[in-house]
Structures are given as C-alpha cells and as structure tokens.
C-alpha cells in the first residue's frame, strides 16, 4: 500500500471533515484520517483513542477503515459503537483516552458523512485539521502494532446524564429523535427519568424517513408540535442527527430558539456561578446578552462554530455557552461539551423547579422581531472577500461594527449581521429589531451592502417574534 494519501480539497473543513460518501469521502479517506490523526496522537505521547459512529448507512464501513488506520499507528482503540456524538465525548473523558473520533454526518443529508475529532479535552479544528492533510500527503505516518476492543458505555452514559436531574414535579415531555443516533440512549434515559415521556422516531435509520434531523429548522418540528398538542405535554424536545444540537418547543407549540434556551439556562446557572462569563455566538439575539447582564453575568460575544466556542469556554472558565444553531455547552456540573440529551435533562429540571411553564420562561424574555438566518448563495472564492468589502465600507462610514466574525452592525433600530459560512458556499445574514419598521430598515441595509458588492440579494426570509 502506498503511504501518501491526498484528500479531496473540499472535505477538510474548519470544524470537522465532511463529504459525500463514495465521491469526496471514501473508506480510503477514513483510513488515511486514522493514520494521520493517529500519528498526531502518538507523537504527543497518546496511547488510547475512543471511536464512535452515528446511524448513517455508510458509518460502519467508515468506522472500520478509520479503526484500521488508527491501529496501524500503534494505538489502542476503544470502539464504543453506534450512538450520539456526545456519548463519544463522554467516553473519551470518562476513560481518560488521549483522543476521540466520531464518524458522523451530523445534520447533513443522508448521502453525506464526516468525522469529528477531539484531542485531550479539546476540539480539533482549523489548522489542526489542515495538518492532517499535510501529514497524509507526505505519507509521514507513525507505524506500530495497535489493537482494538469493543466497549459498551451506554449505561454509564445514561447514569451520568440522569445524575444532574433536579426536578421537583413530574412533567409530560415529547422527544423527537428524528431517526438519528440518539434513539437507543433516549429510550434508556426516559425509562429512568421521572415524568411521562412520549418518543417519536426513536428508531435509528440513516435514510431519515420521517423528516430531516435538524431541529433548528421549523418545518422539521411539525410532528413534535402536533404530538405536544395531542398529548397536552409541557415541553417538546428535538435532536439533530448526532445528538449535539437541541431544539425545543413550549406547550403552546412555539419554538424556543437556541439563544432563548441559553438565556433561560443562564438565569439558572448564574445563581450558582455569580458574575460568571456566559458566551454566545455573533448570531445570537441582543436580548440574550442583555439577559446575561441582567442576571449579573458577563456576556461575551464570540465567533460562530462549536469548536471555537468550546475553546473560548476553556480559556475564560465559562460555565455555559451556546449557539443560535442549538449547540449548547454546560461546564456547570458537566464537561464543557455540547450534549443535547444533557441539555434536555437540564431543561426539564429547570422548568420543573420554576413552578411555571417553559412558555412562561420564554415570555419573560424581551420581545424582539427578527429574521431567521438567511443564506445567500455566493461563489466560494468570493465569500470572505465580500464580507471584507462590506466591513471596509462600513468603517469608512463610521458605523458601529463588531468584526469578531463577519460584521455585526448596531444601529438605533437593532442590529444586522453578515458573515461567511465556514462550511458552505453561502453568506449568512440575520437582523433583529425592536419594531417591524426597524427590521425593514435593517434588511434594506444588508441588501444595499450586498448589491454594492455585486450580489443580487433575494428577499430575506420573513420576520417574526423571537
């Protein structure tokens, strides 16, 4: 077998490795990732790596190839099998392994798959992912006689998830696993959790026959809303394909968005961590940052991307961070990684203790009008340049710009954001205002800036309260 391996240029992404199975991502690629990443681990003195995989039809084949690659570098591999990404994170921490690797396509369509990695307690992203390409291309692999064993961590994981449940009254909860990798764990968890639980689509099926597993898109929550209404449930909770992103709805059938959940969690977490830094990404509502401050916390706005937020949390000692996209990270009682099952347990406990409903907690947040995340298709080569052009023009005009990740512009009406996606050939825009008229003015500003850079901007998706 020849040593060197060249990856398709599109698969080594900012936060993970991702591609279309059989086209840009193959078993040979997975094996090469195992060899390259294994080399990094071995050279840092690591001995053991945990590996898990999600419910996609292509995952077992990629997992086997990856494990073979890791073994060839001399590592011992703990194969934890099929389950959600956070179970792999948990196993890596719990077994004190040097690294962890998850085969998952996350919330991408069924033909995609990918690889998420952690080294020590931290995520692998950015330059470290590019380095794997460099090692593979040079064929500069460590070699050794490795081994592997199958370990079952499901019971330990479920026990740990249950440990922090602190509810005082039983609730009725509907859970939608979306045929993703959480199904088996969800059954075990809800069997032991107080209250009444209804499970939807908990059969793991990589073709996703019922709806796409992305709970941050409202059309994917239709079934969850319906069953919450039919059963008179208190809360509905949905997961993405690999269980690291949460979606929630209240008993009135309204979506409680990622940044609203963080605001609700923050009020609770700040009781035991007074004055702590709470982090959210640049797409989050101003209402969230204001709520954190109102409860005595230090709000910190940071770049979008689960790996970037995890790294910033570790650096600042933050007990809680979250993204608009439903990645929410607890370092309060938990390990600082994004685990939607754990977030679900914490949400039920919090609502149970509140004496009211999730709807009451949601209604306690300031009412803003905003657009959803709106995506504009652009040339991959141009996407970052356009954001730079907009930034230069705004700064020349003396606008109030935060450029930590793209441009977030504050005006008396509210704010608008334009940033380049790290994972797709799109620009992402969002605007939020105190009034409908204000929102229209903000949307007009975004469209005007895009047009100045030669992008014929389609209309924004409709606004709405959140």
Q: Where are the domains of the chain?
A: 17-153, 171-363, 369-465
Residue 82 has pLDDT above 90, yes or no: yes
Q: 66 with 34: CB under 8 angstroms? A: yes
pTM to 2 decimals? 0.94
| Concatenated DSSP letters of 359-417 | HHHHHTSPP-EE---EEEE--TTTHHHHHHHHHHHHHHTT-EEE-SSSEEEEETTEEEE
pLDDT of amino acid 1? 45
Query: What integer pLDDT is reported at residue 419 of this predicted model?
Result: 94
Cα distance between residue 268 and residue 182, in whole Å: 26
Q: What digits encode the pLDDT tens for the residues 5-50? A: 999 999 999 889 999 999 999 999 999 999 999 999 999 999 999 9
Query: Could you give the CA distance from residue 28 to residue 311 in angstroms, rounded to a whole number?
Result: 30
Q: What is 290-341 written as a DSSP string?
A: HHHHHTT-EEEEE-SSHHHHHHHHHHHT-SEEE-TTS-EEE-SSS-SSB-HH
For 196-217, what is the mean pLDDT?
Answer: 96
Given a cut of 70, is residue 2 above it in pLDDT?
Answer: no
Residues 6+ apart with CB under 8 A from 6: 133, 136, 137
Using alpha carbons only, how large is the chain's radius of gyration in Å? 22
Mean pLDDT score across all residues of the chain: 95
Is residue 106 among the annotated active site residues? yes
Distance (Å, rounded) from C-alpha 323 to C-alpha 326?
Answer: 6
Residue 380: its pLDDT value, please? 84
Equal fold, 17-153 vs 171-363: yes
pLDDT value at residue 464 = 47
- Among the listed ranges 130-144, 243-257, 331-345, 369-383, which one has the minimum average pLDDT value? 369-383
Which tens digits make up the pLDDT trace of 316-361? 999 999 998 999 999 999 999 999 999 999 999 999 999 999 999 9
Q: What gap in Å lies between CA 287 and CA 291, rounded to an integer?
A: 6
Residue 458, pLDDT score? 67
Please tell me the predicted confidence (pLDDT) of residue 461: 63
* pLDDT tens, residue by residue, 254-263: 999 999 999 9
Q: Indicate the fold that domain 171-363 takes in CATH.
A: Alpha-D-Glucose-1,6-Bisphosphate; Chain A, domain 3 (3.40.120)
Under 8 Å between Cβ of 312 and 124: no
Mean pLDDT of 179-201: 98
Q: Per the residue annotation, which of 58, 106, 307, 421 is the catalytic one?
A: 106
Superfamily of domain covering 17-153 = Alpha-D-Glucose-1,6-Bisphosphate, subunit A, domain 3 (3.40.120.10)
* Domain with residues 369-465, CATH architecture: 2-Layer Sandwich (3.30)
Other beta carbons less than 10 A from residue 330's beta carbon: 22
- Name the band, by pLDDT with cuts 50, 70 and 90, for residue 422: confident
């Amino acid at each position: 077998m020849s040593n060197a391996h060249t990856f398709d240029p599109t698969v080594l992404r900012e936060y993970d490795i991702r591609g279309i199975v059989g086209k840009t991502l193959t078993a040979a690629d997975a094996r090469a990732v195992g060899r390259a990443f294994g080399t990094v681990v071995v050279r840092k003195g690591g001995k053991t790596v945990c590996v898990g995989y999600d419910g996609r039809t292509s995952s077992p084949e990629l997992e086997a190839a990856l494990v073979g690659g890791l073994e060839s570098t001399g590592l011992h591999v703990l194969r934890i099998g099929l389950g959600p990404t956070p179970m792999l994170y948990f196993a890596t921490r719990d077994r004190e392994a040097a690294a962890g690797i998850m085969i998952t396509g996350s919330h991408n369509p069924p033909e995609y798959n990918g690889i998420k990695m952690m080294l020590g307690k931290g995520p692998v992203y950015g330059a470290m992912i590019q380095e794997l390409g460099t090692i593979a291309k040079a064929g500069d692999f460590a070699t050794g006689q490795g081994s592997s064993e199958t370990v079952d961590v499901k019971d330990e994981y479920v026990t740990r998830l249950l440990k922090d449940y602190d509810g005082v009254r039983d609730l009725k909860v509907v859970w939608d696993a979306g045929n993703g990798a959480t199904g088996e764990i969800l059954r075990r968890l809800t069997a032991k959790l107080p209250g009444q639980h209804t499970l939807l689509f908990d059969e793991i099926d990589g073709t996703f026959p019922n709806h796409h597993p992305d709970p941050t898109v409202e059309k994917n929550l239709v079934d969850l809303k319906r069953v919450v209404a039919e059963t008179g449930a208190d809360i509905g909770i949905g997961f993405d394909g690999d269980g690291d992103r949460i979606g929630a709805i209240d008993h009135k059938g309204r979506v409680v968005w990622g940044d609203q959940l963080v605001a609700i969690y923050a009020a609770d977490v700040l009781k035991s961590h007074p004055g702590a830094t709470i982090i959210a990404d640049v797409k989050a509502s101003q209402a969230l940052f204001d709520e954190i401050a109102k409860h005595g916390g230090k709000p910190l706005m940071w770049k979008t991307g689960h790996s970037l937020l995890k790294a910033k949390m570790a650096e600042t000692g933050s007990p809680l961070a979250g993204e608009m996209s439903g990645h929410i990270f607890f370092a309060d009682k938990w390990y600082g990684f994004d685990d939607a099952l754990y977030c679900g347990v914490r949400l039920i406990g919090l609502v149970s203790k509140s004496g009211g409903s999730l709807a009451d907690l949601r209604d306690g947040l300031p009412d803003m009008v905003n657009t959803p995340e709106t995506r504009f298709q652009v040339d991959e080569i141009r996407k970052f340049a356009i954001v730079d052009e907009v930034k230069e023009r705004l700064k020349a005009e003396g606008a109030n710009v935060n450029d930590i990740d793209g441009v977030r512009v504050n005006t008396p009406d509210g704010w608008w954001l334009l940033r380049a996606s790290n994972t797709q050939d799109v620009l992402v825009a969002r605007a939020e205002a105190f009034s409908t008229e204000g929102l229209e003015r903000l949307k007009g500003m975004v469209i005007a800036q895009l047009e100045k850079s030669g992008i014929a901007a389609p209309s924004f998706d409709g606004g709405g309260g959140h």
